[in-house]
A and B are shown apart, each in its own frame.
Chain A
Amino acid sequence: MPKRLNDEITFMILPHSGHTPFSFKMSWGVLVFCLTILFFGALFVIGTFFFALSVNSKLSDYQIVKSQNARQVEEIRQLKIESESLKKDLKRLSDEERELRSNLGISEPSDSTSKAKSDKSSSIEGITPIGSEDMGNLFGVTMDPRLANIKNELSIVRTQLSSRERSFLQISQIAKRKINEYASFPTGFPADGVITSYFGYRPAFGDFHPGIDVATSYGSPIYATGDGVVVFAGWYLSGYGMTVIIDHGNGYETIYAHDSAFAVRVGQRVRRGEVIAYIGLTGFTTGPHVHYEVHHYGRVINPMSVVGANPAEL
């Protein structure tokens, strides 16, 4: 390298085509300057080339992301539809449950707090989204509002679903209990016969009839009108003759009088419709019939008010 950039050099161009040669001079400084310019120019060109390449790859990435995004938007839309239909299904389920409850005579869920909570979360949109947004911030991801919305809805559905599940479990337990309980209500009919005498005051006899008389042929079976335990089977009072008394629980007792024979023993569990005795003429009676009484907490009630009744309404 020269000591000073001011030193000059000559360039001579000799065309091999035989044309007249020519020469020019240049100082080292200019040469260095030109070479520098050339160097950076080349650098710039190369840099631009690679930048274009990267932009191109980014563009293709962008296209991929764009198509992915479009697909995801469609998926989100489908999800939204799905979630809407889920919500609708849940609503229908809820309505049916309410109907079931009213039919079974079961009150609204005792854990009303959970129901209130789910109602609250569905009415106040702000609760769940805040959670999901927090999550998004945690991972440095901004969540698509539509997605957040769907997440919110799905979480509502989940909450409601678990609440419904609890509720149904309760209903099922109550229903099981009720079915047992209902079976024990004396809603059946004591014999396959005709009612010859109703409950209440009888002008013909001038007395108060505490039950109903169901007449049929001698020896016909007498059925238990509900599940229960035989608490008495024997000669009962003066006029009743051979009598079976069944305790049904819930304060109900039924009395079947004037029997000819027993089919059960004291302490035996009986089911509704089970034969417990046979029609007879024991006690004061004018013909073969069963005298059927229903007691509720020791008080005589009209058997016709419970025969065939819906146990839920008793």
Chain B
Amino acid sequence: MMLFKVKRGSSPVSPDTILSHKNEFSGTLKGEGNVRIDSPFEGEIAIDGELFVGQDGRVNANVKAKKVSVFGEIRGNIEATEGLVIHNSGKVFGDVKVGILFVDEGAVLEGKSEMLKS
């Protein structure tokens, strides 16, 4: 069911970089590739591709990406030029600046939201 719902927005692409749940990261993440994070992460994210936060992902950083999908948790401000999708298990604490915003049933979004297009 969830798959269909995700698909209705736009399906996440295959990641070029995977941060596994068995490790922890801190620092700055930059680049063009798509990133999937299944681990705790602390620092700064600014990528041209898509960011995918798995259900085990605990991101504590400001995020700047083309598109962000959240199954886990992001603490920090998010700027997604294309869109932000918070799935039903996803939690976002922070202000968001998005092209398109999709918040699934049961998802958490605490913070201001601002639409880029308006």
Contacts and interface: CB of A to CB of B under 8 A. Distances in A.
Nearest to B7: A16
Chain A: number of interface residues, binned into ranges? under 10
Contact of B18 (A14, A17, A18, A19): A14
- Most B C-beta atoms less than 10 A away, residue of A14, A18, A21: A18
Interface of B: 2-3, 6, 11-12, 14-15, 18, 20-21, 36, 38, 52-56, 69, 71-72, 87, 89-90
Nearest to B1: A17
Contacts of B90: 18
Contacts of B11: 16
Contacts of B2: 17
Main secondary structure of the interface of A (DSSP, over half): loop
B18 A12 contact: yes
Given A12-B18, A17-B6, A18-B53, 7 more contacts: A14-B14, A16-B11, A17-B2, A18-B71, A20-B21, A21-B36, A21-B38
Nearest to A12: B18
A17 B3 CA distance: 6
A21 B89 contact: no
B34 to A, nearest CB: 11
Contacts of A14: 14-15, 18, 36
Contacts of A16: 3, 6, 11-12
Interface of A: 12, 14, 16-21
B3 A18 contact: no
A21 B18 contact: yes
Contacts of B3: 16-17
Nearest to B53: A18
A21 B72 CA distance: 13
B56 to A, nearest CB: 5
A185 B6 CA distance: 126
A19 B12 CA distance: 14
A10 to B, nearest CB: 12
Give the 7 A-B CB pairs with smallest separation, nearest first. Answer: A18-B71, A18-B55, A18-B54, A20-B56, A17-B2, A20-B21, A16-B12
Contacts of B72: 18
A121 to B, nearest CB: 86
A193 B106 CA distance: 145
A16 B50 CA distance: 13
Contacts of A20: 21, 38, 54-56
A12 B15 CA distance: 12
A21 B18 CA distance: 10
Nearest to B70: A18
A18 B107 CA distance: 14
A18 B38 CA distance: 8
A16 B14 CA distance: 9
A14 B21 CA distance: 12
A22 to B, nearest CB: 10
A57 to B, nearest CB: 41
Nearest to A15: B54
- Most B C-beta atoms less than 10 A away, residue of A12, A14, A16, A21: A16
